[in-house]
C-alpha cells in the first residue's frame, strides 16, 4: 500500500454518497517502537474534499504567515473540508474508501 494510492482514493459515506477525494493524510507518531526512528507513524485521519487543498498547501497551520486575502480564502475552504478518522474507515479497496460515518457528521480538520 502506498500513500499515493490513499491520496488518489475517493471516500464514500455510510449512505453510499461520494464525500470527495483524499486531500491529505494526518499521521501521529504513536505506533510501535522502531529502532533507529522511534515510535512509528500511524495514519490517524484523512482530510477529504476539494476544500482540503488549503490543508495540502499548509495555510491551515497557525504559524504560517501569508497575504490576508489568501489566508481568508483558504481558511474558508478549510472549514468546508471533511476530517475522517481512520478508525471510522470500514474498507479501502485501493481506490475507494468506505466509512461508517455520514458526510454531514464529519467536521473540519484540526488547526
Partner 1 sequence: MEARHLWAGLQLLDRQLLDRDGDMAGKVDDVELASDPDTGSLYVSAVLSGPGALAGRFGWRRLSPWLRYVHRRVTPLDTDPTRVPLRYVADIGDHVTLSLERSQVGSESTERWVRDHLIGHIPGASHAPE
- Tell me whether residue 17 or residue 73 sits nearer to partner 1 (CB atom): 73
- Whole-angstrom distance between the N-terminal and C-terminal Cα of the chain? 28
Q: For partner 1, which is the closer residue by CB, 17 or 37?
A: 37
Least distance to partner 1 from the beta carbon of 1, Å?
A: 4
**Interface with partner 1 by CB under 8 A: which residues?**
1-4, 6-8, 23-32, 34-37, 39-44, 55-58, 86-87
Q: Which residues pair with 34 in a beta bridge?
A: 38
CB nearer partner 1, residue 14 or residue 44: 44
Closest distance of CB 98 from partner 1, Å: 13
Considering the complex, what minimum distance in angstroms separates the CB of residue 44 from partner 1? Answer: 7
- 3-class secondary-structure state, position 18: strand
- DSSP characters for 85-111? EGGGEEEE-SSEEEESS-GGG--PPP-
The DSSP symbol for 14 reads T
Amino acid at each position: 500500500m502506498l500513500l499515493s494510492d490513499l491520496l488518489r482514493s475517493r471516500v464514500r459515506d455510510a449512505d453510499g454518497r461520494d464525500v470527495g477525494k483524499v486531500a491529505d493524510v494526518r499521521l501521529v507518531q504513536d505506533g510501535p517502537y522502531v529502532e533507529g526512528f522511534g515510535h512509528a507513524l500511524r495514519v490517524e485521519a484523512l482530510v477529504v474534499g476539494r476544500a482540503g487543498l488549503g490543508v495540502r498547501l499548509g495555510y491551515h497551520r497557525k504559524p504560517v504567515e501569508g497575504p490576508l486575502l489568501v489566508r481568508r480564502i483558504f481558511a474558508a475552504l478549510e472549514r468546508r473540508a471533511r476530517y475522517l478518522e481512520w478508525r471510522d474507515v470500514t474498507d479501502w479497496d485501493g481506490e475507494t474508501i468506505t466509512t461508517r460515518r455520514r458526510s454531514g457528521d464529519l467536521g473540519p480538520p484540526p488547526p
